[in-house]
Structure 1
Amino acid sequence: MPYAKLTITIPESIWISKVSRTYPDTRFRVLAATANTATGVARIEIRGDDPEAVCQAMREYDSVTDLTVFEADPEMHRVQVETTVPLLLTSLQDSGVPLELPFEVRDAELTLEVTVPQETLSEFGETLDRVGIQYTVERIQQDTESDSLLTERQQWLLDEAIEQGYYDTPRQTTLVELANEVDIAKSTCSEILHRVEERIIKEHRREDPDMARDIAMPSD
Structure 2
Amino acid sequence: MPQARLLVDLPDGPWIADVSREYSDAGFRVLTAVPGEGAGFALVRVTARDVDGVVEAMRGHDALASVSVMATEEGVATVRIETDAPLLLVAAKRSGLPIEMPLDIENGVAQVDVTGEHERVAELGRRLGDLGLTFNVERVRQRVDPAQLLTDRQRELLLTAVDRGYYDVPRRSTLTEVAEHVGIAKSTCSETLQRVERTVVREFVDDLPHRPLDDGIDANPATVTAADSASESNSDRSEPNHTTHRT
TM-score (ref. length: structure 1)? 0.67
CA distance in 2, matches of 1:67, 1:132: 26
Amino acid at match of 1:133: L
CA distance in 2, matches of 1:127, 1:91: 5
In the other structure, the counterpart of 2:139 is 139
Deviation readout 1:178-197 (Å, 9 max, x if unpaired): xxxxxxxxxxxxxxxxx7xx
Say if 1:202 and 1:131 are closer, same or farther in 2 by CA, change over 3 A.
closer
Aligned pairs, how many? 162
Say if 1:50 and 1:209 are closer, same or farther in 2 by CA, change over 3 A.
closer
> Is 1:93–2:93 an aligned residue pair?
yes
Question: Secondary structure of the equivalent of 2:137?
Answer: strand
Question: Once the 2 structures are TM-superposed, how far is the Cα of residue 110 of structure 1 from its aligned partner?
Answer: 0.7
Question: Once the 2 structures are TM-superposed, how far is the Cα of residue 140 of structure 1 from its aligned partner?
Answer: 1.3
In the other structure, the counterpart of 1:124 is 124
CA distance in 2, matches of 1:86, 1:38: 9
Amino acid at match of 2:56: Q
TM-score (ref. length: structure 2)? 0.60
> Is 1:72–2:18 an aligned residue pair?
no
Question: Once the 2 structures are TM-superposed, how far is the Cα of residue 107 of structure 1 from its aligned partner?
Answer: 0.4
Contact persistence 1:38–1:86 (CA under 8 A):
no
Runs of 4+ in 1 over 4 A off after TM superposition: 209-212
Question: Once the 2 structures are TM-superposed, how far is the Cα of residue 37 of structure 1 from its aligned partner?
Answer: 5.2
In the other structure, the counterpart of 1:180 is none
Deviation readout 1:43-89 (Å, 9 max, x if unpaired): 00000101111010011111111110010122000010011132222
Written as runs of structure 1 = structure 2, the 5 A alignment for 1:25-44 is 25-36=25-36, 38-44=38-44
Contact persistence 1:37–1:86 (CA under 8 A):
no
In the other structure, the counterpart of 2:151 is 205
Say if 1:210 and 1:21 are closer, same or farther in 2 by CA, change over 3 A.
closer
CA distance in 1, matches of 2:156, 2:75: 50
Question: Once the 2 structures are TM-superposed, how far is the Cα of residue 102 of structure 1 from its aligned partner?
Answer: 0.7
Question: Secondary structure of the equivalent of 2:72?
Answer: strand
CA distance in 2, matches of 1:208, 1:85: 48
Q: Max radius of gyration: which structure?
A: 2
Aligned-residue sequence identity (percent) comes to 30
Question: Secondary structure of the equivalent of 1:62?
Answer: coil
Question: Secondary structure of the equivalent of 2:70?
Answer: strand
Amino acid at match of 2:63: S
Amino acid at match of 1:119: E
Deviation readout 1:159-201 (Å, 9 max, x if unpaired): xxxxxxxxxxxxxxxxxxxxxxxxxxxxxxxxxxxx7xxx2x6
Amino acid at match of 2:151: R
Amino acid at match of 2:19: V
Question: Secondary structure of the equivalent of 1:113?
Answer: strand
Say if 1:73 and 1:119 are closer, same or farther in 2 by CA, change over 3 A.
same
Say if 1:44 and 1:210 are closer, same or farther in 2 by CA, change over 3 A.
closer
Q: CA RMSD in A?
A: 2.5
In the other structure, the counterpart of 2:61 is 61
CA distance in 2, matches of 1:210, 1:63: 53
